[in-house]
């Protein structure tokens, strides 16, 4: 029987995405580093705080963040789980409206400020058009705990995502792999070394660009991007590009016997057939899969 695997664009099995908050002046240098190495980032902005003397003016946003994604971070950066629901609606909706007026495209992602998240917030965000949200925490602690447990055990101790490179089951509760202060280079080396193509892997790094200024360690991000950039098996994507691509794949319509597939979306989806054939299913087309069953 034919075996079909979901693949990232180009038949790749790894994706790297970056997420940086607050829109402060140091974003300019971070964007330069990303652009130098072909890395894509999502920049989460508070549109109600841009005139505090610490943040980039909206007049720069469209040009600065070209090729990347601008997402919401609420209007004024409150700890929103302490807020009444009507205030949460205002914080999420007004930020989105302002960002859209500047950027000229729909804003559909949010990084929850101060790590404040609950099911209530996710439900509100989804109801007003958000399709993903970066939630509190990352995989660093779990990965480190697993390494310690494995050192003390007779064999591997399965606790879930032992690598930190899995995709979320719910994009409204999306957790990163690591903050850039949490063993970034080690995670990068491990991610680069992954080779088993029966899995899809994602490395997701988050932080604040001003932290590099405060810690005087811009070299860390430059070294990481130099290490991880330009890899043939990695797709470099913004947060929303990942969400949208997974949606395209999930909407594919396969024949019951897997002999063909129809793509009702405008964008392409990619398949790996029988571990060897990389197949692009272009938008609006039907592809005969029997030709690859050999």
Q: Are residues 134 and 259 in the same domain?
A: no
Task: Please answer whether residues 185 and 223 qualify as being in contact, where contact means their C-beta atoms are separated by less than 8 angstroms.
Answer: yes
Domains held by the chain: number: 2
Q: Are residues 148 and 200 in the same domain?
A: yes
Q: Are residues 91 and 131 in the same domain?
A: yes
Q: Show Cβ contacts of residue 10 under 8 Å, excluding neighbours closer than 6 positions.
A: 235, 270, 278
Q: Are residues 242 and 200 in the same domain?
A: yes
- Backbone dihedral region of 155: left (phi > 0), alpha (psi from -120 to 50 degrees) or beta? beta
Q: Are residues 124 and 186 in the same domain?
A: yes
Q: What is the mean pLDDT of each run of 10 residues along the chain (294 residues)?
A: 95 98 98 99 97 96 99 96 96 98 99 92 97 82 56 45 82 94 94 92 97 98 99 98 98 97 98 96 97 84
Across 279-289, b (16+ Cβ under 10 Å) vs e yields bebeeeeebeb
Q: Are residues 238 and 258 in the same domain?
A: no
CATH number for the domain including 244? 3.20.20.370
Q: Are residues 124 and 199 in the same domain?
A: yes
| Token pair 């007004």: residue | 94
Q: Are residues 92 and 238 in the same domain?
A: yes
Q: Are residues 61 and 104 in the same domain?
A: yes
User: Per the domain annotation, does 197 fall within a domain?
Assistant: yes
Considering the entire predicted model, what is its pTM? 0.93
User: Per the domain annotation, does 114 fall within a domain?
Assistant: yes
Distance between CA atoms of 22 and 44, rounded to whole angstroms? 6
Extended strands (E) in 51-152: 69-72, 109-111, 132-138
Print the domain residue range for 282. 252-292
Q: Are residues 268 and 156 in the same domain?
A: no
């Amino acid at each position: 029987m034919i075996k079909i695997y979901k693949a990232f664009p180009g038949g790749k099995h790894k994706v790297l995405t970056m997420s940086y908050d607050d829109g402060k002046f140091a974003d300019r240098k971070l964007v330069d580093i990303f652009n130098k190495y072909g890395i894509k980032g999502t920049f989460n902005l508070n549109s109600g705080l841009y005139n505090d003397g610490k943040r980039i003016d909206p007049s720069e946003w469209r040009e600065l963040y070209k090729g990347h994604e601008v997402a919401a971070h609420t209007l004024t950066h409150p700890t929103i789980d302490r807020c009444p629901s009507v205030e949460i609606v205002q914080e999420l909706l007004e930020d989105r409206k302002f960002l859209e007026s500047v950027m000229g495209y729909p804003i559909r992602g949010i990084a929850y400020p101060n790590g404040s998240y609950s099911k209530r917030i996710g439900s509100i965000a989804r109801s007003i058009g958000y399709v993903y949200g970066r939630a509190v925490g990352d995989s660093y602690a779990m990965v480190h705990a697993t390494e310690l447990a494995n050192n003390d055990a007779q064999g591997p101790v399965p606790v879930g995502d032992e690598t930190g490179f899995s995709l979320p089951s719910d994009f409204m509760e999306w957790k990163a792999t690591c903050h850039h202060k949490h063993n970034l280079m080690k995670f990068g080396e491990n991610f680069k070394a992954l080779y088993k193509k029966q899995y899809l892997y994602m490395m997701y790094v988050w932080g604040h660009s001003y932290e590099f200024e405060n810690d005087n360690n811009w070299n860390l991000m430059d070294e990481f991007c130099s290490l991880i950039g330009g890899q043939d098996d990695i797709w470099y994507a913004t947060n929303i590009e990942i969400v949208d691509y997974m949606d395209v794949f999930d909407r594919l319509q396969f024949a019951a016997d897997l002999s063909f597939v129809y793509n009702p979306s405008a964008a392409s989806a990619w398949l790996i057939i029988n571990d060897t054939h990389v197949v692009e299913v272009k938008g609006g087309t039907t592809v005969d899969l029997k030709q690859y069953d050999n």
